[in-house]
Every structure is written in structure tokens, then in C-alpha cells.
Amino acid sequence: MDDHPFDELLIQALTNFWAIRKFSRRGRSSKCLDGFFELAKAAAPNNVETHTSGKALTLPGYYRPKKTWDVVFTKDGLLIGAIELKSQARSFAKNFNNRAEEAIGSATDFWAARKPKQPKPFLGYLMLLADCPKSKPTAAKYEKMCERMMSKGLYTNAALVLAKPNQTQSRSLSEATDVRTFFDQVAEHLGSA
């Protein structure tokens, strides 16, 4: 992905996130991370379909009947990638375990449902965490979780985006979990599928 469009799309995604959180009831909305759809679309080659709504997002599970992902990529009708988008802007310590269990469970279910001889799809996990003093210990936990999920092959890539509340600034704790690295790997994997 080119630097200029990537930076613009990331700023738009962060602007969208904070604006929707501010005006949604109790600061929660399933639409908060929709701005990241544009980054996913920009990472996909022209011959790849990027699904962000509809039935294509629902994939079969193994331990549970199905799972709805946030972004699904297909090429010639075959699954070549899926992304889970999550965020946390408050209650940092209390929600970490739930998010960890959910991420690990979703990936485990995804890989168990995969049929032998299918090409290995890209599986991605992106966590946007509010970057504030209270979130610092939780950020370190998410960083370790993302690194371990990648090292164990649960996710092709897992990103941690630390975003200043109500601003368009973001940072990462390492290159391995950087949002740019994440979308570069999406583009690389989809381009070779």
C-alpha cells in the first residue's frame, strides 16, 4: 500500500471511530471500526472481493455452527482471508480476559473448520486500544497476546493500534504488531492467493 493513501485512510478510520463512540449510546456501536473497512479494501488486489456486509461474512465453524467476521476476502468464490476488528476504550483490565478468550476461540474454531487441501487463507486480528495512562498495562498484555497468537499460528497477523482518545494519532508497540505491517501482510497474502 502506498504511504499517502494508507495514512489518509488510517486518519479517516480513527476519526470515524472516535466520532461514532462519542455520539452512540453509552459509547458503544458496532459501526465504530467501519473506517477500517477502507484500509482492508485498499489492501486487496482488484481481482479480490472484499466483503464488509451480508451473508459472505458468515463462515462455518467447527465447535459452533458459524461465526460472523468483520471483513472477508474471496477470489473466484473461494475464501482467501478474514479479519476480526475489536476495540477497547474503557474498563481496560476487566475486559482483557474476555477479548483474549474470544480471539483465541475464534481462531481455533476457524482453523478447525478448514477443510484439508484448501489454500491457507489470511486470518487477521486488529485491536484498537485507547492510548491513555490507564490502558498502559493492558496494552502490554495485548501486545504479548498478539505476538503469541501469531507465533502459534492462530492468526497470520495480529495488530495493536494504540489511539489517543478523540485524536487521529496512533502508535504501535512493535513493528510486528504495527497496523501498517498488518495491512501490508494482508496485501501480500491476497496478492499471492
Name the least confident of 4-8, 15-19, 134-138, 186-190.
4-8
Q: CATH code for 37-192? A: 3.40.1350
How much is the pLDDT for 117? 85
How much is the pLDDT for 59? 97
| Domain parsing of the chain, residue ranges | 37-192
Cell output for 104: 483465541
Mean pLDDT of 110-117: 92
pLDDT band at 4 (very low <50, low <70, confident <90, very high): low
Closest-CA residue to 154 (of 91, 101, 89, 94): 101
Closest-CA residue to 12 (of 36, 47, 44): 36
Tell whether the torsion through CA atoms of 48, 111, 83 and 192 is positive or negative. Answer: negative
Which residue matches cell numbers 494482508?
186
What is this structure's pTM?
Answer: 0.93
